[in-house]
A and B are shown apart, each in its own frame.
Chain A
Amino acid sequence: MQSRDPFPRRTATPARLVPWLFEVGRTFPGLVRSYLPGQTLDPRTRERVILAVTEVNGCRYCAWIHGSWQDFLGEKGLADADEALLTYARACAEAGTPLDPAPLARSLPPEAVQAVRATVAQIEVSNLVGNTVDGLLARVTRKRPLDPVLTVQELAVVGAALPLAVPLLAAGAALRTASRLAPPVPQAQMPPGGEANLLVHLLAQAAPILLANSLLRLAVLGSPVIVPLGLKAGRTSATVRVGRGQIALDNGIAPDVIMVVEGDVEPLLRLASGAVLQEARNLRIRRP
């Protein structure tokens, strides 16, 4: 009688990998789209889905890489639709096989559903491979039986994944470093009392979201000089001064701004909330 494998996590075996590899194949366009600009799945949501699956599977390498990615992107509020995605992702991970995406289709368009399925499938494969590394280490350290056939099989999996895993780990390290170096978002300085116009109020409240990305914080707040920018949304305008770890806001366009971004309110809002490439064409940048 074969003794029970004491390793508690699922590792990559053909039986476990095949359904997920098929799912990756079926949803591959969605996978590509989820990493492209103008994506159907917001990067923060994508990382939440990935971490939800990873939490179920217990892969520490994926948790480290994607935790770094999530920290780099910064936190935003959780929408109701996101909760449905996470529930679906966790259910798939617990089942160990792709599940019927019908519950998602009630709240998401087909392209987004495909992107979610692809994201779940690709991280499932990654989790299985990551766990296989730990499984192999457990065999080497004799915490697990050193079965020759299974060991060779696991070595093959790890060897095949190595060319992709190493750059991903390096990227994780870079993202983590950027997050640590990026200064925190300061309280915006505003005009006194009730004088600030609504655009100034909006910018002040939205600053933590606008500057959630660590690289952006590094570039903008870490600037050694204070940069004055003009912003005109509809008829209302504001001047933003950023740099040296500070944000200062004022009504109107100051004479010293280096450029003015102007457009209708809707494209500006969408631009600010992440849809950069889709909305940039609806905006104008002019010299003051």
Chain B
Amino acid sequence: MDLKDALAAVVGTEHVDPAGDRHLQDVTENPPGQAEFVVRAGTAEEVQALVRLSHERGVALTPVVAGYNVAGLTIPRAGGVVLDLTRMDRIVELDHDAMYVLVEPGVTFAQLKAHLDAEAPELVYTYPFAPPFTSVMANALLDGLNNLSMRHGAMGKWVNGVEAVLADGEVVRTGSGGVVDRWFSRSPLPDLTGLFVSTQGTTGIVTKIALQLQPKPAHRRRWLAFAYDLGSAYAAMRALARTGSFDDVGLMTWPAAKQLFGATGELRRADDEPFAYLFVDITGATPGELEARVALGEDILAEAGVESRFEAEDVARLVPGLAKLAELPTSLDFLLDYPGGGLTWVGSYGPGATWEAGAQRGMDLLVEAGFPPFVVARPMDGGHYYVLRFVACFDKGDPAEVERVRTVMGNLADAVLDHDYVPYKPSADAARRILDRAHPGFVHLLERVRDMLDPDRMMNPGRW
């Protein structure tokens, strides 16, 4: 039986197609890949059968969910089959008491939010500045950052456990759900969940993931504030994060704000403009709790020298189109619709001590390469570490510009590593740069894990 018939025997002919552009490239500078077929699995059993089939025939398998990918992470690099998990979109379980949700790979942020609003309005998940149609599971497994990550850490920390299909077709479970029929925690067991976090699908195909939820406070305010230099921005983020009293503190430099208002092309900062915009989310279970946090926030911003704090609501009243930015998940149209369609970044996690120097170096590199100094940042996990993300919008149709982006992204990956920051969701190029600098023992252990779980390197080849 040829490969197509064998795939169709598992999922039905209507779910097997020749691989098209949508599955062979993404919005970044990473070059398109090649694959023979796209196969859309509908159940964990089908995933298991497909993985076994690939294993037996020595066919590479590249998993993809929800169809919007970054850093080339799901561009097939060794031919074979793209395994599209979009059809697996069930919310399997919602536990109000243990505050977790068990979902399949194709569940999107919009779907999860609608489900929680209807079934558990007292609980909330955490959302990124990513389109609502993107995958909750992919974001968590890739250890992304969301709007409650300042308080509760990167998304890998929110994973209570997974069910996964290994390269030989064996189904495994991790976390409490691997032992009892509830997915309340990764503790107190050997932490096998980590085998599937940030490994970019190279260790197995996750078919279910248990994710923590948080209580939803009844009262909320969001501020915007202006910072005129890196020092005051960092001082404000550091102080706000350390109190544990704020839900989120994020930073975007001035190019982001201009693009938000529709500016494109060559951007210039006027002499009297702020350097960066901070957004601060404050919540409280009661009006009194909210007020106390508001007072604390006012003091901290003033002490850090951050001027011109104001309510995001007032801006949204004047420019209603901006209101959706306060309600995640949301699409950042100014990034997605940028002329030329190219969008890429180097995002990294690292220590506060080198944040300012790292931010400055990265901005210098962007400017030298002809891009505006577009930086996104956030304290993470109570201020234990920070985000530095350098963003570039570009014209995918201009080969010279693509090459320029590729060069600067490589330089940025090196620059953040120079400042002890580590790229998250690294492209193949960034992963290579990470491993080049890693402790030999780290590299060796990673290789041993992969040798054990996928000795033939058939699972999402080309990564790590």
Chain A residues close to B by CB (< 8 Å):
76-77, 193-198, 201-202, 204-206, 209-210, 233-237, 251-252, 264-266, 269-270, 272-274
Kindly supply a per-residue 1/0 record for chain B positions 253-281, scoring 1 wherever the CB is within 8 Å of any chain A CB and 0 otherwise.
01001100111111110101110000000
Chain A residue contacts of B319, Cβ below 8 A:
202, 205-206, 209
Q: Return B73 CB to nearest CB of chain A, in Å.
A: 31
Whether the Cβ atoms of B320 and A234 lie closer than 8 Å is no
B226 within 8 Å of A by Cβ? Answer: yes
Whether the Cβ atoms of B266 and A269 lie closer than 8 Å is no
Whether the Cβ atoms of A194 and B268 lie closer than 8 Å is yes
Whether the Cβ atoms of A273 and B228 lie closer than 8 Å is no
Please name 19 pairs of A and B residues whose Cβ atoms are closer than 8 Å in the assembled complex, sorted by A.
Answer: A77-B323, A193-B267, A195-B268, A196-B258, A198-B258, A201-B257, A201-B258, A205-B321, A209-B317, A210-B318, A234-B274, A235-B226, A236-B274, A266-B310, A269-B318, A272-B318, A273-B314, A273-B317, A274-B317
Whether the Cβ atoms of B272 and A236 lie closer than 8 Å is yes
B307 within 8 Å of A by Cβ? Answer: yes
Whether the Cβ atoms of B314 and A235 lie closer than 8 Å is no
Identify which of B266, B268, B274, B320 contacts A209 (C-beta below 8 A): B320
Whether the Cβ atoms of A264 and B308 lie closer than 8 Å is yes
Q: Return A230 CB to nearest CB of chain B, in Å.
A: 12
Whether the Cβ atoms of A201 and B263 lie closer than 8 Å is yes
CB-nearest residue of chain A to B259: A194
Chain B residue contacts of A209, Cβ below 8 A:
317-320
B311 within 8 Å of A by Cβ? Answer: yes
Chain A residue contacts of B264, Cβ below 8 A:
193-194
The size class of the interface chain B forms with chain A is 20 to 34
Pairs of residues from A and B, 9 with the lowest C-beta to C-beta distance, nearest first:
A77-B320, A194-B267, A201-B261, A266-B310, A206-B318, A234-B308, A197-B270, A269-B314, A273-B317
B315 within 8 Å of A by Cβ? Answer: yes
Given pairs A251-B270, A264-B308, 12 additional interface contacts (CB within 8 A) = A76-B317, A77-B323, A193-B264, A198-B274, A202-B318, A202-B319, A205-B321, A234-B307, A235-B274, A264-B310, A265-B310, A269-B318
CB-nearest residue of chain A to B226: A234
Q: Return A78 CB to nearest CB of chain B, in Å.
A: 9
Secondary structure at chain B's binding surface: helix, strand, loop or mixed? mixed
Residue among A206, A237, A264, A265 facing the most chain B CB atoms (10 A cut-off): A265
Chain B residues close to A by CB (< 8 Å):
226, 228, 254, 257-258, 261-268, 270, 272-274, 307-311, 314-321, 323, 372
CB-nearest residue of chain B to A201: B261
* Bound: A79/B261 CA distance, A: 21
Q: Return B38 CB to nearest CB of chain A, in Å.
A: 39
A-B contact count (CB 8 A): 95
Whether the Cβ atoms of A193 and B266 lie closer than 8 Å is yes
Chain B residue contacts of A252, Cβ below 8 A:
270, 272
CB-nearest residue of chain B to A268: B310
Whether the Cβ atoms of B317 and A235 lie closer than 8 Å is no
* Bound: A194/B257 CA distance, A: 11
Chain B residue contacts of A194, Cβ below 8 A:
258, 263-268, 372
* Bound: A212/B436 CA distance, A: 59
Known: A209-B319, A270-B314. A265 touches B265 (CB 8 A): no
Q: Return B217 CB to nearest CB of chain A, in Å.
A: 14
Chain B residue contacts of A269, Cβ below 8 A:
310-311, 314-315, 318
CB-nearest residue of chain B to A206: B318
Chain A residue contacts of B258, Cβ below 8 A:
194, 196, 198, 201
Whether the Cβ atoms of B263 and A196 lie closer than 8 Å is yes
Chain A residue contacts of B308, Cβ below 8 A:
233-235, 264-266
Q: Return A93 CB to nearest CB of chain B, in Å.
A: 27
Chain A residue contacts of B267, Cβ below 8 A:
193-194
Residue among B226, B268, B308, B318 facing the most chain A CB atoms (10 A cut-off): B318
* Bound: A209/B316 CA distance, A: 11
Whether the Cβ atoms of A235 and B321 lie closer than 8 Å is no
CB-nearest residue of chain B to A236: B272
Chain B residue contacts of A76, Cβ below 8 A:
317, 320
Whether the Cβ atoms of A266 and B311 lie closer than 8 Å is yes
CB-nearest residue of chain A to B261: A201
Q: Return B8 CB to nearest CB of chain A, in Å.
A: 47
* Bound: A76/B310 CA distance, A: 20
Q: Return B401 CB to nearest CB of chain A, in Å.
A: 17
CB-nearest residue of chain A to B307: A234
Chain B residue contacts of A193, Cβ below 8 A:
263-267
Chain A residue contacts of B309, Cβ below 8 A:
266
